[in-house]
């Protein structure tokens, strides 16, 4: 994947439901073939069900500062 095909969204510290809303909006406007890299202050369990039901794949990694990095892309 090319670096220009990754889009970053930092929603750390936003009150609910703003992180979820920002992520959904970003996914709706994400160019075909691109990946969304989300930085969030807690693991987004409610997001996973929506992603699964909408045909997305994701990988979540815990960060040293206690936040999470989630890479989201369309399932092949």
pLDDT in tens, 52-71: 999 999 999 999 999 999 99
pTM, two decimals, is 0.89
Residue 2's pLDDT band (boundaries 50, 70, 90)? very low
Q: Following CA atoms 49, 40, 30, 26 in sequence, which dihedral angle do they give, to the nearest 10 degrees? A: 90
Residues in the chain: 76
Write out the two tokens for 18.
Answer: 């703003």
Checking DSSP bridges between strand 35-40 and strand 6-10, what pairing results, if any? parallel
pLDDT in tens, 4-30: 578 999 999 999 999 999 999 999 999
The DSSP output letter for 72 is E
Residue 75's pLDDT band (boundaries 50, 70, 90)? confident
Place of tokens 């936040």: 67
């Amino acid at each position: 994947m090319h670096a220009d095909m990754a889009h970053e969204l930092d929603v750390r510290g936003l009150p609910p439901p703003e992180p979820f809303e920002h992520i959904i909006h970003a996914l709706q406007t994400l160019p075909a073939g691109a990946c969304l890299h989300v930085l969030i202050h807690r693991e987004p369990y409610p997001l996973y069900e929506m992603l699964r039901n909408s045909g997305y794949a994701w990988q979540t990694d815990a960060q040293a500062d206690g936040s999470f990095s989630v890479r989201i892309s369309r399932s092949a």
